């Protein structure tokens, strides 16, 4: 990306330093919840500035469209102009034009295209949502560039020093991820590398996920990068089971291959010898030649940046048994999924010592502990996790970040733990510099947030989209085995407590006539009717209809709350459930990088979305890490002196 394009965004409103941020603890950053942008003021600033000076995260205003008659007259005038005049080619530096979806229930003012229009344009009509999501990571990377240039003084660096840091990184930067859901880490890193004019280059050496659906997702869409390991606990070994490089067919998945192999064995069995088709631990290869032959176990390799999200099922707020898992990370042999996945990633870090480790988990990780050990009785799982990394030679920083502050329409608050290796002598990073890196990231991460929160409707497909019609047909054919009698009694009792009339039924005409409402289970229809009776009907309201009535949430501000793996979100304006593809796009995942959408059901993709990282947040973390790291040969004492002066400057600002 040319540097001239990055300089165009220097005067954007998002590029100004935020002087009104609240004071934060030195080891914790918390995203503000009441910092809603003033939309009217933003609109006035947009009117006063040309398009190329606006925030790259902002979309063109809909009011700039010409009226129908004026557009036709302009087109006729262009057709009647002199054909010998040279045509102006669009500038390569201009931002891609993205059409804005009209609000639900509103009629589109776009005139019908003439019959002579090219068929290729006709196919893309109505697909502006895909265009918006496809460019989201790229535009957010440009936003990060503008923020870095505007706030580089806050981290005691100049922008040319940050560019020098990018060029000093070992190339390529080896990335590895585990338990990331849909694997948006490599896509976010690639978009960030392009925005740095390819001063940085990333390479995904392996991914790891134990679920069958995530494994199929990564393999079919070519997102795994390197090896695809199964169990995160095996990464501490020299070799691990690889689902990508297995040589022999699974006979239960490929019946035709089974028949062919059976015929070959019957005819040429003695000549071929034994064909291993079982998953035996005794068949682990011992050298490269044997590994090439069997190709089921691959060598685990090191990386520069390791990103993983250990399980949150034991500490999540929706877990009714979470009280028994307080302090569960203190025991390495605990049976909870949170402890097993955390220590699986920690085992890999102990062996391979990556420079950066980025972890993600829910806010319940910071809840106060209740361990039998008196020394750990008051410690939360977050404090225990940070201490485990400090004990093995890492400087640790924990931050609270909200995806809504990073250009996503989702109120997703998560804890991120960043660990920097103090003993990374091979990286030309002195131990004292690691403290400075954490200090810079502590200061920079809040400044990288965006003041523009996109509307939820920009991530949704039209009701006549083929994928939406396919999901509706699947909902009609689905068989509900859940007992409605038990839920009905709970719903009646909850309505009595909330003083809502029982029995419940939808009242608005759009909901009554919706084929989705007719096909939904009675429990989900009750949730929609309850919210409608309590808060009223709104075309922008979304309702989480998966749980019982006492756990239903609703929003009416153009965003939604946290997307969970098992859930269903209903949009009143569209009068239908949101698809898994739409939920995954609300995590920042681009449509264009997934050629095999139709190979997965909407519920499977929704499960991936609930477990996925927020792409723009991870991109901001990678941007902060690569920009704040200074490769130096200075002594530790000199770096400590720099760190002390930087902290003193921060105290003066406060």
- Which domains does the chain show, CATH number per domain? 143-202+303-454+614-653 (3.40.50), 462-578 (no CATH)
Contacts of 51 (CB under 8 A, 6+ apart): 60, 95
- The pLDDT assigned to 647 comes to 63
DSSP 8-state symbol, 126: T
Could you give the CA distance from residue 161 to residue 440 in angstroms, rounded to a whole number?
Answer: 13
Does the structure show a pLDDT above 60 at 546? yes
74 has a pLDDT exceeding 60: no
Tokens matching residue 633: 């040969």
Integer angstrom CA distances of residue 295 from 247, 284, 415, 640: 6, 9, 38, 48
Look at residues 643, 653, 621 and name the one whose alpha carbon lies nearest to residue 305.
621
Residue with tokens 């002390």: 644
In eight-state DSSP terms, residue 198 is: T
Burial class from Cβ neighbours inside 10 Å (0-12, 13-18, 19+) for residue 287 reads exposed
For 217-268, the pLDDT digits (tens) are 998 888 877 899 989 999 999 999 888 886 544 444 455 555 666 676 666 6
Average pLDDT of the residues in 521-548:
92
Residue 146 has pLDDT above 90, yes or no: yes
Give the residue, 642 or 419, on which the prediction is more confident: 419
**Those residues with Cβ within 8 angstroms of residue 105's Cβ, 6 or more apart along the chain or in another chain:** 510, 539, 573
Walk across the sheet containing 173-178 and list its strands. 28-30, 394-402, 413-421, 356-361, 305-308, 173-178, 202-208, 227-229
Q: In angstroms, what CA-CA distances link 271 with 164, 262, 267, 366, 541?
A: 61, 14, 9, 62, 68
Instruction: Tell the residue number behind the tokens 């941007």, with chain if given.
Output: 623
Specify the range with the lowest mean pLDDT, choosing from 78-92, 565-579, 595-609.
Answer: 78-92
DSSP state of 110: P
Could you tell me if 535 and 507 are in contact, meaning their C-beta atoms sit under 8 angstroms apart?
no
How far is C-alpha 65 from the geometric centre of its chain's CA atoms? 32
Average pLDDT (60-87) is 41
Percentage of residues of the chain with pLDDT beyond 90: 42
Percent of the chain at pLDDT > 70 equals 65
């Amino acid at each position: 990306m040319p540097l001239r394009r990055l300089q165009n965004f220097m005067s954007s409103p998002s590029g100004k330093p935020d002087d009104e941020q609240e004071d934060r603890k030195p080891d914790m950053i918390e995203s503000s919840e009441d910092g809603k942008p003033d939309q009217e003021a933003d609109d006035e600033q947009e009117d006063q500035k040309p398009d190329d000076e606006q925030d790259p995260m902002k979309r063109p205003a809909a009011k700039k469209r010409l009226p129908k008659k004026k557009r036709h007259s302009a087109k006729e005038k262009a057709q009647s102009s002199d054909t010998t005049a040279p045509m102006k080619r669009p500038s390569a530096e201009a931002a891609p034009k993205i059409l804005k979806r009209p609000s639900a229930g509103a009629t589109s003012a776009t005139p019908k295209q003439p019959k002579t229009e090219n068929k290729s344009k006709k196919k893309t009509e109505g697909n502006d949502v895909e265009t918006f999501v496809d460019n989201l990571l790229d535009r957010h990377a440009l936003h990060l560039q503008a923020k870095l240039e505007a706030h580089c003084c806050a981290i005691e660096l100049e922008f040319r020093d940050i560019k020098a840091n990018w060029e000093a990184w070992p190339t390529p930067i080896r990335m590895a991820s585990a338990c990331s859901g849909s694997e948006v880490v490599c896509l976010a890193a690639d978009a960030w590398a392009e925005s740095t004019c390819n001063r940085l280059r990333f390479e995904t050496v392996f991914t790891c996920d134990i679920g069958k659906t995530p494994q199929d997702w990564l393999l079919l869409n070519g997102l795994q990068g390197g090896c695809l390991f199964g169990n995160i606990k095996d990464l501490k070994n020299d070799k691990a089971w690889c689902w990508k490089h297995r040589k022999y067919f699974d006979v239960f998945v490929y019946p035709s291959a089974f028949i062919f192999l059976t015929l070959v064995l019957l005819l040429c069995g003695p000549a071929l010898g034994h064909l291993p088709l079982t998953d035996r631990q005794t068949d682990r290869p011992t050298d490269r030649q044997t590994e090439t032959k069997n190709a089921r176990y691959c060598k685990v390799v090191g990386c520069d940046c390791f990103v993983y999200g250990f399980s949150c099922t034991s500490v999540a707020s929706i877990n009714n048994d979470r009280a028994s898992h307080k302090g569960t990370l203190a025991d390495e042999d605990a049976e909870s999924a949170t402890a097993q996945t955390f220590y699986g990633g920690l085992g890999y870090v102990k062996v391979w010592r990556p420079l950066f480790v980025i972890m993600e988990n829910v806010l319940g990780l910071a809840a106060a502990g209740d361990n039998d050990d008196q020394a750990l009785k008051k410690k939360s799982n977050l404090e225990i996790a940070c201490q485990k990394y400090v004990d093995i030679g890492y400087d640790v920083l924990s931050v609270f970040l909200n995806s809504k502050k990073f250009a996503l329409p989702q109120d997703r608050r998560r804890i991120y733990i960043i660990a920097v290796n103090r003993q990374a002598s091979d990286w030309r990073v002195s131990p004292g510099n690691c403290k400075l890196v954490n200090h810079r990231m502590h200061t920079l991460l809040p400044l990288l947030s965006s003041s523009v929160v996109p509307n939820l409707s920009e991530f949704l497909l039209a009701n006549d989209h083929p994928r939406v019609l396919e999901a509706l047909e699947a909902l009609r054919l689905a068989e509900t085995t859940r007992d409605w009698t038990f839920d009905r009694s709970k719903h009646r009792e909850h309505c009595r407590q909330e003083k809502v009339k029982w029995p419940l039924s939808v009242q608005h005409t759009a909901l009554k006539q919706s084929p989705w409402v007719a096909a939904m289970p009675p429990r989900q229809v009750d949730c929609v009717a309850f919210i409608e009776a309590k808060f009223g009907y709104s075309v922008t309201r979304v309702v989480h209809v998966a749980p019982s009535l006492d756990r239903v949430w609703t929003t009416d501000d153009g965003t939604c709350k946290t997307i969970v793996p098992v859930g269903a979100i209903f949009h009143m304006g569209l009068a239908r459930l949101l698809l898994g593809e739409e939920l995954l796009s609300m995590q920042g995942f681009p449509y264009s990088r997934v050629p095999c959408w139709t190979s997965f059901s909407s519920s499977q993709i929704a499960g991936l979305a609930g477990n996925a990282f927020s792409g723009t947040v991870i991109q901001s973390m990678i941007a902060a890490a690569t920009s704040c790291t200074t490769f130096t040969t200075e002594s530790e004492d000199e770096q400590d002196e720099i760190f002390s002066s930087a902290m003193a400057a921060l105290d003066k600002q406060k």
